[in-house]
């Protein structure tokens, strides 16, 4: 019976035009622009009110975006992902509700006319390593790479890259603790990097 339920759920919640793996689904409602540039792995669960934009053209500029979501990923409701370059979310990640990830910013040249009519700029792709946890209302900004097994606290804004096994918090985010594989627990950095 569980197999039948999973099959029906998967078929009902698979957006047309999106490359989506086995037993993965996106709950309705959702908005996905640039569907052919979005790839979702196997056994991934995405809650409703999702907004994904793989932006291919804006203000007369053409872009080649990619949004890749790995296997066994959970994304909470009201998530917003937008790319003109690349967003990659590794296998096993958990993204809580209202997470915002972008690889682009609006141009805001005071001499350039209306902001909404200025070209978008990317400061580089965003990469979230495998098995990361992003808390409620986390924002990940352009050019950021998070190593595997990072934990980002609620309401944090990640504006720069961090190594694997980092616990982050704040706006802008900073390292609060590092996981010690020797001691098997989270420890405050001894080098004063927090």
pLDDT of residue 16: 60
pLDDT of residue 113: 86
CATH tag, 2-187: 2.160.10.10
pLDDT of residue 191: 64
Distance CA 21, CA 17 (A): 12
The helix (H) or strand (E) run that includes residue 11 is helix 2-12
CB 125 within 8 A of CB 143: yes
- pLDDT averages per 10-residue partition of the chain, 194 residues: 55 66 89 92 94 94 96 98 98 99 91 87 96 99 98 98 98 96 88 57
Structural tokens at position 117? 């009519």
CB 72 within 8 A of CB 55: no
Is the alpha carbon torsion for 99, 102, 108, 112 positive or negative? negative
pLDDT of residue 190: 77
Domain range list for the chain: 2-187
φ, ψ dihedrals at 186, nearest 5°? -85, 130
Beta bridge partners of 86: 66
Kindly list the distances between the CA atom of residue 74 and the CA atoms of 90, 96, 112, in Å, as whole numbers in the listed order: 11, 8, 40
pLDDT of residue 6: 55
pLDDT of residue 109: 86
- Helix (H/G/I), strand (E/B), else coil: 5: helix
């Amino acid at each position: 019976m569980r197999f039948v339920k999973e099959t029906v759920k998967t078929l009902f919640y698979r957006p047309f035009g999106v490359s989506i793996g086995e037993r993965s689904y996106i709950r309705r409602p959702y908005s996905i622009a640039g569907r052919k540039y979005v790839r979702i792995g196997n056994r991934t669960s995405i809650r409703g009110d999702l907004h994904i934009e793989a932006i291919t053209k804006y203000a007369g500029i053409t872009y080649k975006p990619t949004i890749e979501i790995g296997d066994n990923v959970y994304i909470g409701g009201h998530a917003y992902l937008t790319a003109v370059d690349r967003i990659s979310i590794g296998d096993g990640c958990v993204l809580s509700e209202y997470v915002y990830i972008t690889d682009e910013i609006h141009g805001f040249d005071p001499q350039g006319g209306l902001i909404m009519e200025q070209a978008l700029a990317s400061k580089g792709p965003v990469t979230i390593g495998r098995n990361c946890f992003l808390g409620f209302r986390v924002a990940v900004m352009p050019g950021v790479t998070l190593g595997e097994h990072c934990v980002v606290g609620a309401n944090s804004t990640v504006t720069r890259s961090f190594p694997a096994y980092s616990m982050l918090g704040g706006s802008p985010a900073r390292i609060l603790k590092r996981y010690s594989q020797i001691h098997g627990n989270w420890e405050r950095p001894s080098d004063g990097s927090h």
